Chains A and B, each alone.
Chain A
Amino acid sequence: MITVADGLRICLQIAGLYGLYLTGVWIQTTFSLLIPGSIIGMLILLGLFATNIVKTAWVAQGVSLLLRHMPLLFLPVMAGAVTLGHVFQGSGAWLFIIVLVSTVLVMVVSGKITDVLIQRRETS
């Protein structure tokens, strides 16, 4: 059961994550970087964890709520597909195949390289 105190804590934690996101966006625009602000914010938080400035427990509940229900957060973006029907007419099947082929290539190459390197290390 989530208590009022839990709810407040989760809101504060998500507000903190949002603050880091805004910091990342600010850094991106100020230095006109091509890396998304969200990724910069993520790297900042990683740095704060690594230097022990921020303890993981301080954001744990907010993080777990956001990550567990991430599919909900995607729905508004997916709704944008109502305006995209024309893209999938005609060449739609090709797009599907391209994405699948590329996905298999990524899976095989990354998985195989890691697999081979791990086995080489364990036999040596």
Chain B
Amino acid sequence: MSIWIAVLMITGTIGLYVTGRFIYQRIPHPLTLPLVTSTFLLLSLLLLFDIPYETYMLGGQWIEILLGPAVVALAYPLFNQWHLLKQYFYPLSMGMVTGALVGIFSGYFLARLAGVDETVLFSIVPKSVTTPVAMDVAATLGGNESLAAIFVMIAGLGGVMIAQYTFRLFNIQSFIGRGIGTGTASHAIGTAKALENNEIEGAVSSIAMTVSAVIVAFFAPLIIALFH
């Protein structure tokens, strides 16, 4: 019985994802990204048919299992952009390291100021980095993986929607500076947008998204251990 539930959940999830891609092709906007629409559809269906999370995960776990290899796969785009990282090593690394630390500290202190409980606090800390890494970091700190994934999505979508105004307001003109800004703050969603703007901006953003994920994975546990 449970194998049929698993198959149903897997095909259903893929079906929703395909639907999400179709919607995005018709109406391209950050808020119609497949991640947003298919998540919305999935949550609606689970609530509508009263399907418990555990039942869904009988199938869902087989999709989620691919997140680990997907993070490993990030070595590929990073290696392809290695020449850029070498050429601009100092400006890029300074931007990425400072940005990653600002993300950890500002998330942590703002959330503490708001007085949220610890699970939420630790799920906010890694919100600037790509979902699978943020989930792992949140789990290490004692946060909640799904909550972390939601914060990551907000950081991605919010960042993409305000990026152009932010860069204009703070007079960030170079494609490289913009790429570092989007990649460090808004991970893969930012990188996809940066790629649409300009090839260099996209390449730099993809470097920033992977390198800042490594930096946050290294420093978040240390910083929390020191300050919490």
Contacts and interface: CB of A to CB of B under 8 A. Distances in A.
Interface of A: 14, 17-18, 20-22, 24-25, 34-39, 41-46, 49-50, 56, 59-60, 62-63, 66-67, 69-84, 87, 91, 94-96, 98-119, 121
**In terms of DSSP, what is the predominant structure of the interface of chain B?**
helix
Given A106-B128, A111-B172, 19 more contacts: A17-B70, A21-B68, A41-B68, A42-B72, A46-B78, A67-B74, A72-B14, A72-B17, A75-B63, A78-B149, A84-B144, A95-B111, A100-B158, A103-B158, A105-B102, A106-B100, A107-B182, A110-B208, A110-B212
Nearest to B127: A99
A67 B70 contact: yes
Contact of B17 (A49, A75, A100, A119): A75
Given A81-B146, A105-B102, A118 B88 contact: yes
Contacts of A50: 79, 82
Contacts of A114: 91-92, 94-96, 174, 176-177, 180-181
- Of B75, B96, B163, which is in contact with the most chain A CB atoms at under 10 Å from its CB? B75
By Cβ-Cβ distance, the 4 closest A-B pairs, closest first, are A110-B99, A111-B181, A80-B146, A115-B177
A39 B102 contact: no
Interface of B: 13-14, 16-17, 20, 33-35, 38-39, 42-43, 46-47, 53, 56-57, 60-61, 63-64, 66-80, 82, 88, 90-92, 94-96, 98-100, 102-103, 106-107, 110-111, 114, 116, 120, 124, 127-128, 131-133, 135-137, 140, 144-147, 149-151, 153-155, 158-159, 162-163, 166-167, 170, 172-174, 176-178, 180-182, 184-186, 188, 208, 210, 212-214, 217-218, 221-222
A110 B184 contact: yes
B60 A115 contact: no
Given A75-B16, A75-B39, A83-B53, A101 B110 contact: yes
A105 B103 CA distance: 7
Contacts of B120: 87, 95
Contacts of A60: 76
